[in-house]
Amino acid sequence: MAILDHDAALARAGANVTGLWSQAAFLARRYPLGAVGGLIVVAFVLTAAFANVIAPVDPLSTNSRASLAAPSSTFWLGADFMGRDMFSRIVYGARISLAVAVGATALGFLIGIAIGLASGFLGGWFDLATQRLMDILQALPLLVLALVMAASLGPSLENTIIAIAVALVPNVARVVRSSTLSLREQPFVEAARAVGMGEVRIAVRHVLPNTMAPLIVLATAQLGSAILTEASLSFLGLGIPEPYPSWGRMLSESAAEYVRTAPWLVIFPGVAISLTVFGTNLLGDALRDIFDPRERT
């Protein structure tokens, strides 16, 4: 009997895996650009996760004899003015970009969800005061607001995450608030009130889960914005400081002085930034279409 149960469980697991692959193949055929974006994002995440395995040398080790070495079999993407291997620095730069993007997005979403949920569910003077504050923050572009915060906090990995997270809060709060306003009058919320459930429990248990679809789409788009903002702050000297191998810092060190004599110092970090942001945007567009009820058949 136990053997039959085990075989049945294996059969169900195999059917689930087959079903997931079939669904993934269907979505890839229907949204080919989204599939390309997903592959880019997966490659980016794997590169960041296994940077110590992929990188051939320490990204911080210097070699004065290899200063500004051109791409070759020894230095696949060349070397910078200190003789540091560019391939290793770009690989480890993916880890920095992923850490900042995930950290800033997670922190910004936690704060934005709390503000938007409370604002939309409570209403009244709290909603009015909160939305005026969001208006003030949203009046500044993402990069400008992050620039102000980074200049106030100083350059460091933690401060860069906080600066970008604060800049992401207004958009998240707006999305959650708009969804909450439409959900709080639904019959299932009235039924929860009728059985004596508290307002906080209703908001967290019944309203918040129904706002997840637009938040998933927004999170994917904000990952690309966070990566681009971090690169911009590092380029201006207000983001990730040395010795961290940030893509934006690499551009800042090389763009002005070596763009003509050693163009690979500018081309490869720029390609890494552009490709990663491009992939997150493609994936975000596909997720938006998937979660849009009007696109479902």
pLDDT in tens, 140-171: 888 888 888 888 888 888 899 999 999 899 98
Q: Is residue 66 part of a domain?
A: no
Closest CA to 243 of 82, 117, 101, 105: 82
Q: Which two tokens stand for residue 79?
A: 């070397």
User: What residue ranges in 183-222 does DSSP mark as E strands?
Assistant: none
Q: Which two tokens stand for residue 297?
A: 């058949």
- pLDDT tens digit sequence for 64-88: 888 888 888 888 888 888 888 899 9
Least confident range from 1-5, 37-41, 151-155: namely 1-5
Number of helices followed by number of strands (H, E) in the chain? 12, 0
Provide the pLDDT for residue 18: 62
Provide the pLDDT for residue 131: 87
Write phi, then psi, for 79 (nearest 5 degrees): -130, 155
Number of domains forming the structure of the chain: 1
- Contact between 91 and 54 under an 8 Å Cβ cutoff? The reply is yes
- pLDDT tens digit sequence for 175-194: 888 888 887 777 777 787 77
Q: Is residue 100 part of a domain?
A: yes
Q: Is residue 12 part of a domain?
A: no
- Report the CATH number that the domain containing residue 269 is assigned in CATH: 1.10.3720.10
DSSP string, 111-157: HHHHHHHHHHHH-HHHHHHHHHHHHHHHTS-HHHHHHHHHHHH-SSH
Q: Is residue 125 part of a domain?
A: yes
Helices 86-122, 124-138: inter-axial angle, 10-degree rounding? 150
**Residue 196: domain span:** 48-55+87-280
Q: Is residue 34 part of a domain?
A: no
- Contact between 94 and 51 under an 8 Å Cβ cutoff? The reply is yes
Q: Is residue 192 part of a domain?
A: yes
Q: Is residue 70 part of a domain?
A: no
User: 133-139, long-range: CB within 8 Å, 24+ apart, which pairs?
Assistant: 134/169, 134/170, 134/173, 134/174, 137/166, 137/167, 137/169, 137/170, 138/170, 138/171, 138/174
Per-residue pLDDT averaged across 4-30, rounded? Answer: 60
Provide the pLDDT for residue 211: 79
**pTM exceeding 0.75:** yes
- Contact between 62 and 83 under an 8 Å Cβ cutoff? The reply is yes
Q: Is residue 217 part of a domain?
A: yes
